[in-house]
Chain A
Amino acid sequence: MTEANDSRELIAFRIGSQEFCVDIMSVREIRGWTPATPLPRSPGYMKGVINLRGTVLPIIDLGARFGLETSEPTARHVIMVAHIGGRMVGLLVDAVSDILQMSDAAVQPTPDVASDRVKTFVKGIFSIDGRMISLIDLEHILPQVEAEAA
């Protein structure tokens, strides 16, 4: 996992008590939660679709996707609109907390304590001011959505 530029910006967000982050370049915008139209026969973490200025945007409850405890979304919840593999996807999270500057060298391998499902999506972890932040690999979120829902 080396990149030409070994320092990059990450956007950190919270689900429940856990903190995660993704590459800021894959996030297009951040907006408040609006009620989604549910899709029939879709997996539980698919909250449905919303209208993003004329685009039908599927919303994935990231917490549910990771197998974490989640609650009904409220107006305080946040949707991160991300670009994943040519598609636009909304990721429902509790809150966006920070923008971090991080070098790849600071990434530690995922310890063996996280749930299996979390490990599927976590590329590695950071430590910042004593907080633990998991780096999420978004590429893994969508293809598996398809596989599981098909």
Chain B
Amino acid sequence: MDAFEAIKATFFQECDELLADLEQKLMLLEQGQTDLETINAVFRAVHSVKGGAGAFGLEDLVRFAHVFETLMDELRAGRKPCDPVTIKTLLRASDVLADHIQAAQGLAPAVDEARSAGLVAELEMLTHGGEAPVVVEAEEDDFGFTPMAFDMPLELPDISAAVEPASGWRIVFRPHGRMYASANETGLLLRELARLGPTTVALDEGGVPMLESLNVEDGCLTWTVELSAAVDEAAVREVFDFVEADCDLTITPLDAAGLARVFEDEPPAVLPASDDLDIAALLAKATAVAEPVPALQPITPQPVAPEPAPVVSAPPQSVAPAPAAAPAAPAPVTIRVDLDRVDRLINVVGELVIQQAMLSQRVLESGLARSSGIALGMEDLELLTREIQDSVMAIRAQPVKSVFQRMPRLVREVADMVSKQVRLVTAGEDTEVDKTVVERLAEPITHMLRNAIDHGLETPEERLAAGKPAEGVVRLAALHRSGRIVIEISDDGRGINRERVRKIAVDKGLIAADAVLTDEQTDNLIFLPGFSTAAVVSDISGRGVGMDVVKRSIQALGGRISISSVPGKGSTFTLSLPLTLAVLDGMVVTAAEQTLITPLPTIVESLTPQAADLHHVGGVDPVIRFRDRFLPLIDVALTLGFRDTPMSPTDGVAVVVETEGGQQAALLFEAIQGQRQVVIKSLETNYQPVEGVAAATILGDGRVALILDVDVLVTDMRRKSLRPDFKLAS
């Protein structure tokens, strides 16, 4: 990647952040927080996108951003009201802006021209308001957008043409240090001005302090430019568009006599104001002077020189010292790091943790006294290793905001498509979770939000008939719960129609016609592969891939999904995911001489089975009495095939576990070794998924231990017991 491409990539990264910011601020506006600061923030975001896009010559993007920005400017000046209609348009405009950015990035096909042009027209209509709307509104319904897009800009100059343009402009321009810090160059700005017409440039270096009190990062130079061309003030202002906030700028019209006055006012050290002095030639000259090597020796005791710009003693053509004086960028608060590097670091630290544990064990085995220097050193090393690991993991922790922020747009679009009124409420955006988890949340959340809107919510008419407000509410919330992140997606719609779900399941042969299922089991039928309740396959959901896909992608993350639904009141889907995919608290157990890890969050209790508590259902399947309930007793080694014959339960330890779906079961092991935090190693990296095993880890002795997939172990057993009437199609 060449340097230019690299900068471009950075620009697009920034665009993502700006868009996220834009979306967030627009949401605030939508919620009624229409204060100036919020409007300004929106303006700045759009403005920055436009600025960057201009630098890369992304014409379409610039054009769209410009229209967007113009409206924002009107809003921020208070010339146009920030009413709900406007905000709705702004929201849609931000979607199109995102499309433009995607297209510019080459990530998406070209932007839907009609849509873009339509929005441009809408934005411009809002910008100019007043006389046009009545006419325009009539056209609006007839798809009159596209022509409008071309009409409106023509109208704009007409309106402003009413203002008598001055015969020239006098521009006093004093850049602040900040302007240079953001890599703007005075020379370029002056060149832009020169394009508008003949200019005379005068430099006032009177503001330059004595060398000892000079801060090179301050801007101390003032330029006075006299532009003798009858152009619009806006055109002049546009030159300073991107630096306006970082400089003192006064633009005053020049009358015929003004010319003379400028010269009178001029400070003594001026550029020879000869009109024939071509600004471009001047710049070329000045740049040549600013070139460090030839310019080194002209540094003289004359105390006017900004240090990095050894130009001042050179003849008066000192227009260009400013660019050279651009100071280093201010210290950044954050840095961008390639994710690969972080991952590499995490991997290495993971290995360090294992190696440290192995070393500790070796030291212990060597029989050194616990108080020996080596043993004490090992303890410190262990603490340090933990700390390094925690810090490294923290690098990857990210708020789920980045995913949640993409959702309002999705909700708007889906709601439009199915003609429903939807309000998205989000909570807990700041909940942090490992980056890999964050990244992989987007897809299932997207899917479930679509489902909630498409299937969950009723049409406005149905809602009104049911005595609910026409606008449905979809809630997306994230929270931490017992070492996991929980994502809840709930709607206040019609809830799951259990009869229909059951009928479909029977029709599709997913369950037997006479199967006896609890409500919960019925709800869970929608997760079966090949199940889709949409009577009509719609564009949004029900493309044949359904909730089973969601369930699988969640399970791949070590997460679980569950539903609760109240007919007529709505449904809640709950996703529970580990905070990180890298470490896990586990109980170390032994089964058939193998060391296994049971994830601690699944464990309810452990107990020693008593003969009196053991029973067999139908004389076959063992169950254990636990607090007056009978739980299936699963001989893990037998289930996993490590042993051919069942062990005697009274010789072992039973660990009561609970699955994400709330089912309890007792896992039978030979012994419990203890509890420890383990680093999760995927089996899939070099092998493939193994049923009943969630992942692997490396123990202190350097051996690999398997981490049990409790849900699969438990449901596996259930499946067996349900088999006669509960056939799983897979």
Contact = CB atoms under 8 A, between A and B. Distances in A.
Contact of A40 (B595, B641, B698, B703): B641
Interface in A68-82: none
B691 interface: yes
Nearest to B679: A54
A106 interface: no
A40 B690 contact: yes
A11 interface: no
A89 B683 CA distance: 12
A51 B704 contact: yes
Interface in B370-426: none
Given A39-B690, A146-B688, A149-B688, A56 B641 contact: no
B703 A37 contact: yes
Interface in B669-708: 681-683, 685-688, 690-693, 696, 698, 702-706
A38 interface: yes
Identify the interface centre among B641, B688, B704: most chain A CB within 10 Å of its CB.
Answer: B704
Contacts of B687: 39, 49, 56, 58, 87
A118 to B, nearest CB: 23
B640 interface: yes
Nearest to B706: A37
A55 interface: yes
Nearest to B708: A40
B686 A89 contact: yes
A53 B352 CA distance: 10
Nearest to A149: B688
Contact of B702 (A36, A49, A51, A145): A51
A107 interface: no
Contacts of A40: 640-642, 690-693, 706
B351 A41 contact: no
A150 interface: yes
A37 B594 contact: yes
Nearest to B698: A51
B667 to A, nearest CB: 14
Contacts of A95: none
A109 interface: no
Contact of A88 (B642, B681, B686, B703): B686
Interface in A32-76: 35-42, 48-51, 53-58
Given A39-B690, A40-B690, A49 B696 contact: yes
Contacts of B691: 40-41
A58 B685 CA distance: 10
B350 interface: yes
B347 interface: yes
B354 A54 contact: yes
A29 to B, nearest CB: 14
Nearest to B699: A51
A73 to B, nearest CB: 15
Nearest to A90: B686
B640 A150 contact: no
A87 B698 CA distance: 19
A26 B351 CA distance: 24
A39 B686 contact: no
Interface string B560-595: 000000000000000000000000000000000011
Given A39-B706, A49-B683, A56 B698 contact: yes
A54 B703 CA distance: 10
A81 B354 CA distance: 21
Contacts of A145: 688
Interface of B: 347, 350-351, 354-355, 594-595, 640-642, 681-683, 685-688, 690-693, 696, 698, 702-706
Interface of A: 35-42, 48-51, 53-58, 87-89, 145-146, 149-150
13 contacts: A37-B696, A37-B705, A38-B594, A38-B642, A39-B690, A39-B693, A40-B640, A54-B698, A55-B686, A56-B682, A56-B683, A87-B685, A87-B687
